[in-house]
Amino acid sequence: MGKSIYVKELIDKQYERLEEQVEHISKKEYVARFIELDNRGYVWKGKVYQQLVAEFHIDGLTCEELLQDYINELSTAVFPLLI
């Protein structure tokens, strides 16, 4: 499975975990915009989340909280791949 599939899966799950705060955005739109801003991993995730918070007017979550959630989930998603 390619890296882009893992990123999409991580963001899908992030949306589901945080749906209460991002329910005004469709899951498809949230995931697609993240992937577009991420530019295949070439853009720092903090910058991606700053842009998402600004564009989608996400209240109740900061870009730092979104980034921390991503980092936490990334470590649990990637660890099984290393075994």
Q: Which pLDDT tens digit goes with each residue over 34-71?
A: 999 999 999 999 999 999 999 999 999 999 999 999 99
What pTM was estimated for this model as a whole?
0.86
The ranges assigned to domains in the chain are 3-82
Helix axes of 3-17 and 27-38: crossing angle, nearest 10 degrees: 140
Q: What is the pLDDT of residues 17-31, one digit of tens each?
A: 999 999 999 999 999
CA–CA dist 24, 6 (Å, integer): 24
- Is the alpha carbon torsion for 7, 78, 19, 52 positive or negative? negative
